[in-house]
Amino acid sequence: MNYLQLHEQNKENSLFGRYITLHHIEPILQKHKAETIGKSVLGKPIYKLEFGTGKTKILMWSQMHGNESTTTKGLFDFINFLHSKTEESDTILKNFTFCILPMLNPDGAELYTRENANGIDLNRDAQNLSQPESILLRKTFEEFQPHYCYNLHDQRTIFGVDDTGKPATVSFLAPAFNESRDINAVRLKAIHVIVAMNDVLQQYIPNQVGRFDDSFNINCVGDTFQYLHVPTILFEAGHFPHDYEREETRKYIFIALFSGIEFLHENDIVISKIDDYLKIPQNKVVFYDFVYKNVKINYDGKDKIINFAAQYKEVLYKGKVQFEARIAQIGNLDNFFGHVVVDANGEPFSSEENDFPKIDQKADFCLGKSKKVVNGLINN
């Protein structure tokens, strides 16, 4: 099957970029006659969609963290597929029932923050249930009684696939259900789905799939649901080269969603895939957005050669997310990679502020007389 072509046919073109709010998705929700199940801290509606009549029930939720919108885009692409009235979509709808909360944290989405309007990380509120959004998710979980849960997130550009120098474009986790991080029959079901999705994704983004850290935290929603005996899968949408709007990554989230459901429909598990799961390399913090090598500075009257790195900060300005590059690290950076690497070849650093880089300084500077760097990138 050509999964990329399938995505192109079902892409929700009204959604683009990183800033996805209730305003962007409400027209789609109205088209699908979404049900309002409650309100956020600031009174915004939280919607639920249900599709299908099958016996296998899957609960999906996205934008629990308001500034993590890539999986929301991929989710609506998948919803379009479910309504494509093809043989494949009809078969899935006959065999599965989907309960989808496409934007659990609409206040955070509007403000472009990880937390909700009370400053609470909803993914650490699974036990306290102190927030209305957390209560709604738990109530939906208990009423729907899913066979599987899909916990959909984004991760930052800092994550790579171990020490390979490849970005972690998509990462997965079958969360632990206890401190010992044991693998029981419930967690094993989640592992098998992850292995199936990884097998397909390797055809499209080889060596760009990671395995998220499985340290146990019962306050996290995924760990709690796994503890409550429901196989739960964490999705993390990460960086694809030069894709800061995450329009490439959304394709691979769609492919993961489709191929995982396809696997659940077509396969009876007879052989454990634990080894295949553990072979997926772990996520590791090994990337900066920019790395500058062999830069000459004059410090205390002495010339020396240094390396330094810059990282984008995401800033919401007039309804758009802007990427502002700031210097984040100065040193040898031996264990780090850059999504963009610039070799100054000994050219001297200079800027309007000073003659050597400083932490949190804007990445606007010159390297010698020929290279002008503006917002991290060489401005030709």
Can you tell me the distance from the alpha carbon of 241 to that of 279, in angstroms, rounded to the nearest whole number?
A: 23
3-state secondary structure of 340: strand
Identify which of 220, 225, 216 has the alpha carbon closest to the alpha carbon of residue 190: 225
Name the residue with higher pLDDT: 267 or 177: 177
Superfamily of domain 3-285: Zn peptidases (3.40.630.10)
pLDDT for the residue 301: 81
Predicted pLDDT at 298: 86
Around Cβ 268, how many Cβ atoms within 10 Å? 4
pLDDT, the chain, mean = 96
Residue 90, helix vs strand vs coil: helix
Kindly indicate the confidence band of residue 123, based on its pLDDT and cuts at 50, 70 and 90. Answer: very high
For residue 69 the two structure tokens come to: 């919108």
Which numeric CATH code is attached to 287-378? 2.30.40.10
Q: How confident is the model at residue 208 (pLDDT cuts 50, 70, 90)?
A: very high
pLDDT band of 1, cuts 50, 70, 90 = confident
> What is the average per-residue pLDDT within 223-228?
98
- Percentage of the chain exceeding pLDDT 70: 99
Q: What is the pLDDT of residues 56-69, one digit of tens each?
A: 999 999 999 999 99
Beta bridge partners of 238: none
CA gap 251, 90 in Å, rounded: 21
Give the DSSP letter string of 115-184: S-TTS--GGG-TTT--SHHHHHHHHHHHHH--SEEEEEEE--TTEEETTSS-B-SEEEE---SSTT----
The span from the CA of 262 to the CA of 218, in Å, is 30
| pLDDT above 70: residue 118 | yes
Q: Cβ distance 129 to 208 under 8 Å?
A: no
Q: What is the helix (H) or strand (E) element at residue 306, kind and residue range?
A: strand 302-317
Q: With the C-alpha atoms ordered 310, 119, 65, 228, is the resulting torsion angle positive or negative? A: positive
Q: Residue 379: is its pLDDT beyond 90?
A: no
| pLDDT band at 269; cut points 50, 70, 90 | low
What's the confidence (pLDDT) of residue 270?
63
Question: At a CB cut-off of 8 Å and minimum separation 6, what does 268 contact?
Answer: none
Q: What is the pLDDT of residue 380?
A: 67
pLDDT (mean) for 308-320: 96
Domain ranges of the chain: 3-285, 287-378
d(CA 307, CA 295): 6
The model carries a pTM of 0.97
Average pLDDT for residues 295-318, to the nearest whole number? Answer: 93
d(CA 164, CA 54): 41
The total number of residues shown for the chain amounts to: 380
Would the CATH topology of 3-285 be identical to that of 287-378?
A: no
Segment 276-290, tens digit of pLDDT: 999 999 999 999 999
Element (H, E) at 97: strand 96-101
Other CB atoms within 10 A of residue 42 CB: 14
pLDDT of 30 > 80? The answer is yes
pLDDT exceeds cutoff 70 at 76 = yes
Q: Of 38-42, 173-177, 340-344, 355-359, which gets the smallest average pLDDT? A: 355-359
Round to whole Å and give the CA distance between 239 and 249: 7
216 falls in which pLDDT band (50, 70, 90)? very high
Q: What percent of the chain has pLDDT over 90?
A: 93
60: left (phi over 0), alpha (psi -120 to 50) or beta: beta
